[in-house]
Amino acid sequence: MGNNNETRTFDAIVIGSGMSGGWAAKEFCEKGLKTLLLERGRNVVHLKDYPTTNMYPWEFKHRGQVPADIVEKNPVVSRCYAFREDAMHFFVKDTEHPYVQDKPFDWIRGYQVGGKSIMWARQTQRWSDYDFEGPARDGFSVDWPIRYKDIAPWYSYVEKFAGISGNKDGLPNLPDGEFLPPLELSCVENYFKDFVAKNYKDRHVIYARCAHLTEPQPIHLQQGRGQCQKRTLCQRGCPFGGYYNSNSTTIPWAQRTGNLTLRPFSVVHSIIYDDKKGKAVGVRVVDAQTKETTEFYARVIFVNAAAYNTNLILLNSTSNRFPNGFGNDSGVLGKYVAFHNYRGHISAKYDGFKDTTTDGRTPTSAYLPRFRNVFKQETDFLRGYAAGFSSGRGYSGGGRDGFGETLKENLETKGKPGPWYVGSHMMGETIPKETNTLTLDARQKDEWGVPLLKISIAYDDNDEKMLKDFFEQMSEMYTKAGFTDIKTGDSKQAPGLDIHEMGGARMGKDPKTSILNEWNQVHTCKNVFVTDGACMTSTSTQNPSLTYMALTARACDYAVSQMKKNEI
Amino acid sequence: MNRRSVIKNFLFVSAGMSLIPACMHDKGKASFLLKNINVNGDQEKMLADLTETIIPKTNTPGANDLSSHLFVMMMVDDCFKKEDQQKFVKGMAAFEDLTKKRCNNTFTDCTPAQKKELLTDIEKKNNIPDDVTAFYNITKRLTIQSFTSSQYYLTKVQVYELVPGRWHGCVPVKTT
């Protein structure tokens, strides 16, 4: 195969192979498009490249802990809960890919085929119109150009393929989906669920929907995936394909069509705009290893590089037509970025259910959908938060007093069951603001010649008020439910550690105030689409990946229909 | 196995063989290369004794069966911050001073009764320098970790299941 323009020309180029890019590749390949899937990191082949997946705890040299020299050199990624000895090879080290923190921001990244879909928390809650209508109702950001009815069939479409476990709860603010059976909640979780339903109007505790194959369907077996075995070691990659990631699901599916060209070690420098043709014609790629630049061409380009890297590529794609960044006539590119506020947590004990316990492990937990300001504005802050709810029971054995045979006996005694512990964490909506920005650093470039991304994002007064409300409301619910020894905590973590960065190339109806239209299509360049977190007009409270997947499949369908009509 | 990896393995083995006698004869050095802390051969021996006193062999494995002292040294060397490494090293020296004072000898040469008395006093903070307490607490915590995360413990005591294959949210407590 020669290296001429012809071999470097495809029908579609997808930038990024993670959560949303994997979907774009699958959709295009299935629809018969010759597709180039670009990934800046190394290849990770399902099953083959999960080096720690079958290791026992004692097989890890440091029993899971990350050595101090790595922590010291990489303070940002070291703050991520999943950056442990068993999965640290899937995370970007600070030192390898620097960025500029105008204000503290913990940017957690995964540069490999599959991206962060390998290590994600697998929570998949749908949005409702109470989310999509938020900005218009409450007067922030811009109105979403879509509503629930536009995305609902696409939620169903991706849920069936990915495999989502859930319970039909019938809640207007958290619509039901195409669910595989739910797993059980614990006795205490069920108790709290009943308690909240009885004592609070419009507050609910449900089984948290998650991307696990609790009962694989023929489509999942066809993908080569099997039932979730409740290992809860998902961040290592799953030997059963029990949870959804791009590596086990969308990418191999795309490969089977024969239409996919997967190109790891491909750092996208910028999108090439052709003034004469009035559209994008391809992308400039710097080889991650040789640093050699190559151009690739296609009729349609999907940018799925992960929210802030997508912004980086767009900002760096300048031309006569777009001197301020790709599609950026409005000047809003890189602005109105947002995230989720994960600072609050609460824990307590429960004295009941002494005769019962749990057996085995569960990959998910219970979930409280947002109950604040859902149907109307009711607090002195905008929007609200969702919360997790999980529980477990310890044992009195394993005492650590003393030494010698006494200590050893204690350690070898399981003891009696101790009290139940319960806990929740906050998932707060943040308001996208013009002052929260991503820009290109004027001086510093990385080793591939791409300017460093400068991140300037901070909490605001709304976030602080919401955090206070989370503590108050959760403490009240916990107290009324009879939980004791209630402890609240503010992790004070910087924005970013939620790993839910969003926005910067937001969707909107008006090209003067947004970058993308209702099809995730750049308003001013119809053959470029952005369907990862960068497209988000607002953040709501749900874990966002499911929405990215649905938006991606929907945008691919639209793009192909437009290609057939020769519109793009 | 291809030819290249056979040769590589052979080289690896022979390199290891040539290293072992050197280590065994040089009692002044630790038995493996430490990057950040200084622990000499005598101290390593003392640590072996101390960890075995903390978790002794009974009819089940003890600290020495699990090489807990090497785990302690490796974890302090690899996973501790500089200031905590200092605490360990400084505390170890203070501990050696204390055993000299108390048994007029090294910890290894203390009688079982003296060892027991010493550790009891440390546990009760009975007129014990802070440095010694810090060293002891680090050593004890890592010895326990070495024990409770060992293959023995996780296959015979609290069985760790790599593939549970099940989740039941609400089952009766087993009364065994």
Pair (B68, B15) in one structural domain: no
- Which CA distances in Å does A453 have to A92, A116, A266, A311, A314? 15, 19, 18, 9, 12
What number of other Cβ atoms are within 10 A of residue A219's Cβ?
13
B167 in a structural domain: no
Whether residues B123 and A184 touch (CB distance < 8 A) is answered with no
Is the pLDDT at A183 greater than 90? The verdict is yes
What is the interface pTM, i.e. ipTM, of the complex?
0.93
Write the single-letter amino acid at A403.
F
* pLDDT averaged over every residue in chain A: 97
pLDDT tens profile A447-487:
999 999 999 999 999 999 999 999 999 999 999 999 999 99
Q: Please, what is the Cα angle at A222 between A221 and A223, to 5 degrees?
A: 90
| Residue B8 pLDDT | 44
Beta strands at A340-341 and A417-429: parallel, antiparallel or unpaired = antiparallel
- How far is Cα B119 from Cα A404, in angstroms, rounded to an integer? 10
**What is the sign of the dihedral through the CA atoms of A185, A187, A192 and A195?**
positive
Inter-axis angle of helices B82-103 and B130-148, nearest 10? 110
Who among A183, A230, A417 is closest to B173 (CB)?
A: A417
B2–chain A nearest CA distance, Å: 20
Is the pLDDT at A394 greater than 90? The verdict is no
Query: What predicted TM-score, i.e. pTM, was given to this entire model?
Result: 0.94
pLDDT tens profile A199-210:
999 999 999 999
What is the helix (H) or strand (E) element at residue A299, kind and residue range? strand A293-303
What number of other Cβ atoms are within 10 A of residue A283's Cβ?
25
Those residues whose C-beta lies under 8 Å from the C-beta of residue A28, and which sit 6 or more positions away, are: A11, A12, A14, A35, A254, A259, A302, A556, A560
DSSP letter at A42 equals B
Pair (B98, B85) in one structural domain: yes
Q: Which of A206, A354, A408, A413 is most worth mutating to test chain B (most B CB atoms within 10 A of its CB)?
A: A408
B171 in a structural domain: no
Tell me which chain A residues have a C-beta less than 8 angstroms from the C-beta of B148.
Answer: 398, 411
B18–chain A nearest CA distance, Å: 24
For residue B59, the chain A residue with the least C-alpha distance is A405
Q: Concatenated DSSP letters for A167-228? A: ----BTTB---SEEPPPPPPHHHHHHHHHHHHH-TT---EEPPBSB-SS--HHHHHTT----
Pair (B16, B56) in one structural domain: no
Pair (B20, B90) in one structural domain: no
- Which CA distances in Å does A313 have to A360, A427, A460, B20? 45, 28, 28, 54
What is the helix (H) or strand (E) element at residue A426, kind and residue range? strand A417-429
Pair (B103, B36) in one structural domain: yes
pLDDT tens profile A122-181:
999 999 999 999 999 999 999 999 999 999 999 999 999 999 999 999 999 999 999 999
Pair (B104, B59) in one structural domain: yes
Tell me which chain A residues have a C-beta less than 8 angstroms from the C-beta of B81.
Answer: 68, 72
Pair (B92, B153) in one structural domain: yes
B170 in a structural domain: no
For residue B148, the chain A residue with the least C-alpha distance is A411
What residues make up the domain containing B144?
31-157
> A6 in contact with B at a CB cutoff of 8 Å?
no
- How far is Cα B52 from Cα B68, in angstroms, rounded to an integer? 8
- How far is Cα A143 from Cα A147, in angstroms, rounded to an integer? 10
Pair (B77, B120) in one structural domain: yes
Whether residues B166 and A66 touch (CB distance < 8 A) is answered with no
B89 in a structural domain: yes
3-state secondary structure of B114: helix
Who among A398, A402, A405 is closest to B123 (CB)?
A: A402
| Residue A2 pLDDT | 58
pLDDT tens profile A535-563:
999 999 999 999 999 999 999 999 999 99
Q: Which of B168, B174, B175, B176 is most worth mutating to test chain A (most A CB atoms within 10 A of its CB)?
A: B168
Tell me which chain A residues have a C-beta less than 8 angstroms from the C-beta of B164.
Answer: 229-231, 360-361
Is the pLDDT at B9 greater than 70? The verdict is no
B107 in a structural domain: yes
pLDDT tens profile B99-152:
999 998 899 999 999 999 999 999 999 999 999 999 999 999 999 999 999 999
Contact A154, A551 (CB under 8 A): yes
A390–chain B nearest CA distance, Å: 11
Whether residues A356 and B62 touch (CB distance < 8 A) is answered with no
B166–chain A nearest CA distance, Å: 5
Q: Is residue B123 packed enough to be buried (19+ CB in 10 Å), middle (13-18) or exposed (0-12)?
A: middle
Pair (B20, B38) in one structural domain: no
- How far is Cα A37 from Cα A188, in angstroms, rounded to an integer? 46
Is the pLDDT at B18 greater than 50? The verdict is no
DSSP letter at A235 equals G
Q: Please, which pLDDT band fits residue B175 given cuts at 50, 70 and 90?
A: low
B22 in a structural domain: yes
φ, ψ of residue B113 to 5 degrees: the values are -65, -40
Is the pLDDT at A512 greater than 90? The verdict is yes
Pair (B39, B90) in one structural domain: yes
Tell me which chain B residues have a C-beta less than 8 angstroms from the C-beta of A61.
Answer: 74, 78
Pair (B62, B112) in one structural domain: yes
- How far is Cα A456 from Cα A102, in angstroms, rounded to an integer? 5
Pair (B91, B120) in one structural domain: yes
Whether residues A190 and B170 touch (CB distance < 8 A) is answered with yes
3-state secondary structure of A306: coil
Tell me which chain A residues have a C-beta less than 8 angstroms from the C-beta of B172.
Answer: 355-357
Domains in chain B: how many in total? 2
B51 in a structural domain: yes
